[in-house]
Amino acid sequence: ALQAGIVGLPNVGKSTLFNAVSNSAKAQASNYRFCTIEPNTGLVDVPDERLDKLAGFVKPERIVPTQVAIVDIAGLVRGASKGEGLGNKFLANIREVDAIIHVIRCFEDENILRDEGPINPVGDKEIIDTELQLKDLESVEKKFSRVEKMLKTGDPKIKAEYETLKRCKDHLEQGKSIRELSLSKEERTAIADLFLLTEKSVLYVANVDEASMHTGNKFSEALKAAVAGENAQVIVMNNSIEAQISEMEDPADRELFMEEYKMTEPALSKLIRSVYKLLDLATYFTAGVQEVRAWTIHEGWKAPQAASVIHTDFEKGFIKAEVIAYKDFIQYGSEAAARDAGKLRIEGKDYVVKDGDVMHFRFNV
Ligand code: GDP
């Protein structure tokens, strides 16, 4: 599964968020699973109401949602790029994730320790960004000096690589993240081997106090303004409330509690859906009587590649796919009815799978 890592300064609410994720998945109806892979890593189901609607028609034995892995990367502090507080270990953990959930403290509470003075969401974000940028600069500079020595070969490919690295280096030196630099496909390929930390997609969690969970506060507003240019989402939530909701095993208790806080769903569900989007993922469904299941692919994948997610042999032996758009399946209520209405399409190996397609693959074994 693809991974999202939770990062942030100490005492901002990272573990509270991680615990909320792990508990909520456990407490859900039995078809929602959470499994802890390591103490700080868990696989969580992606809530998708389309899956439940499909299952409502098909009435399968099992419902299987897609999952993403959430990793709690604790321990980032000022100076991490210089090895402070096991900094290098944590930075290595970030290198392995596909996207970043950056938790920012937007609540005041004098009982909860803070090393960095008064609450300052933008300053906190910059501390973490700086550490990641410094680490990236180290990686870029290493490759830059290697490539610089090869310039005299006159190879145009080397020259292009040199130019790309130069752009990245200048950008990082200005205290900016690589995700804010617009790079061509060729340029991206040239730096792909560096697995730069600041190239990864990020979403921000503004951890606000109870009173501000629906409205935000001056801290979350400041954060939003500061990241406006990054094209990144800011989710305003209260991690403690989420953790409390997740600990309630009885759905009726949970409903009551959420009603009291005027919540229609846990903010966590929204967060997980946003993470899924952030990872640039799409979902297709298979709808059989044994199981109705959601499968994860990347946007733009063609049918054979999408089939390989079910089984690698499906890609090699791919013949064709029978496809019903989600909307049509729901409108007609079954595969047979959709087929009768002319809504079942036969697609070949060049078909680009759309988010929500209900698929049935034909293949040679
Ligand atoms: P981490 O170091 O980032 O993992 O932070 P924790 O999740 O361990 O939280 C640090 C402390 O802040 C704990 O005592 C939490 O109960 C508390 N905390 C977390 N979220 C909130 C919040 O939204 N409001 C308040 N007042 N306290 C919170």
- Residue 270 counted as domain residue: yes
CATH of the domain at 99: 3.40.50.300
User: Is residue 243's pLDDT more than 80?
Assistant: yes
- Residue 177 counted as domain residue: yes
Q: State whether the beta carbon of 75 lies less than 6 angstroms from ligand 1.
A: no
Mutate to test the pocket of ligand 1, among 9, 11, 241, 244 (most ligand atoms within 8 A of CB): 11
Q: What is the pLDDT of residue 365?
A: 74
Q: What is the pLDDT of residue 54?
A: 96
How far is ligand 1, taken at its centre, from the CA of residue 234, in Å?
18
Do residues 272 and 42 lie in contact, with contact meaning Cβ atoms separated by under 8 Å?
A: no
Please check whether residues 319 and 273 belong to one and the same domain: no
Please check whether residues 173 and 231 belong to one and the same domain: no
Please check whether residues 225 and 194 belong to one and the same domain: no
Domain boundary among 143, 163, 198: 198
What is the span of the domain harbouring residue 250?
Answer: 3-115+201-278
User: Is residue 32's pLDDT more than 60?
Assistant: no
User: Is residue 283's pLDDT more than 80?
Assistant: yes
Please check whether residues 205 and 101 belong to one and the same domain: yes
Tokens standing for residue 318: 């791919």
Average pLDDT of 276-298? 92
Q: State whether the beta carbon of 13 lies less than 6 angstroms from ligand 1.
A: yes
Q: What is the pLDDT of residue 36?
A: 56
Do residues 355 and 284 lie in contact, with contact meaning Cβ atoms separated by under 8 Å?
A: yes
Q: What is the ipTM of this complex?
A: 0.95
Q: State whether the beta carbon of 240 lies less than 6 angstroms from ligand 1.
A: yes
pLDDT tens-digit readout, 129-180? 999 999 999 999 999 999 999 999 999 999 999 999 999 999 999 999 999 9
- Residue 292 counted as domain residue: no
Q: What is the DSSP letter of 352?
A: B
Q: State whether the beta carbon of 10 lies less than 6 angstroms from ligand 1.
A: yes
Q: State whether the beta carbon of 211 lies less than 6 angstroms from ligand 1.
A: no
Model confidence at 30, in pLDDT bands (50, 70, 90)? very low
Number of domains in the chain: 3
Nearest Cα residue to atom 8 of ligand 1? 15
Average pLDDT value over all residues in the chain = 90
Print burial letters for 233-265: b (CB count within 10 Å at least 16), e (below 16): bbbbbbbbbbbbbbebeeeeebeeebeeeebee
Dihedral of alpha carbons 293, 298, 206, 231, sign: negative
Please check whether residues 181 and 98 belong to one and the same domain: no
Closest CA to 52 of 287, 267, 268, 332: 287
pLDDT tens-digit readout, 38-57? 668 888 888 889 999 999 99
CA-to-CA dists, residue 46 to 30, 252, 274, angstroms: 14, 22, 10
CATH of the domain at 320: 3.10.20.30
User: Is residue 31's pLDDT more than 50?
Assistant: no
Tokens standing for residue 195: 């697995």
Nearest Cα residue to atom 11 of ligand 1? 11
Given the CA of residue 107, which atom of ligand 1 is nearest to it? 24
Please check whether residues 76 and 134 belong to one and the same domain: no
Do residues 16 and 247 lie in contact, with contact meaning Cβ atoms separated by under 8 Å?
A: no
Nearest Cα residue to atom 20 of ligand 1? 13
Percent of residues, the chain, with pLDDT higher than 90: 70
For β-strands 99-106 and 3-7, DSSP reports them as: parallel
User: Is residue 109's pLDDT more than 60?
Assistant: yes
- The pTM of the full predicted model, rounded to 2 decimals, is 0.85
Annotated binding site: 11-16
Please check whether residues 192 and 205 belong to one and the same domain: no
Please check whether residues 255 and 187 belong to one and the same domain: no
Tokens standing for residue 254: 């949970």
Q: State whether the beta carbon of 210 lies less than 6 angstroms from ligand 1.
A: no
User: Is residue 195's pLDDT more than 90?
Assistant: yes
Residue type, 52: D
Q: How far apart are CA 310 and CA 301, in angstroms?
A: 14
Do residues 245 and 22 lie in contact, with contact meaning Cβ atoms separated by under 8 Å?
A: no
- Residue 285 counted as domain residue: no
CA-to-CA dists, residue 48 to 27, 31, 59, 328, angstroms: 17, 13, 16, 17
Please check whether residues 246 and 358 belong to one and the same domain: no
User: Is residue 313's pLDDT more than 90?
Assistant: no
Given the CA of residue 18, which atom of ligand 1 is nearest to it? 7
Please check whether residues 103 and 220 belong to one and the same domain: yes
Average pLDDT of 226-255? 90
Please check whether residues 171 and 32 belong to one and the same domain: no
User: Is residue 279's pLDDT more than 90?
Assistant: no
Average pLDDT of 98-116? 92
Angle at 103 between CA 137 and CA 87, to 5 degrees: 40
How far is ligand 1, taken at its centre, from the CA of residue 269, in Å?
20
Annotated binding site for ATP: 11-16
Domain boundary among 141, 172, 198: 198
Please check whether residues 83 and 95 belong to one and the same domain: yes
Model confidence at 85, in pLDDT bands (50, 70, 90)? low
- Residue 290 counted as domain residue: no
- Residue 295 counted as domain residue: no
How far is ligand 1, taken at its centre, from the CA of residue 268, in Å?
16
Model confidence at 29, in pLDDT bands (50, 70, 90)? very low
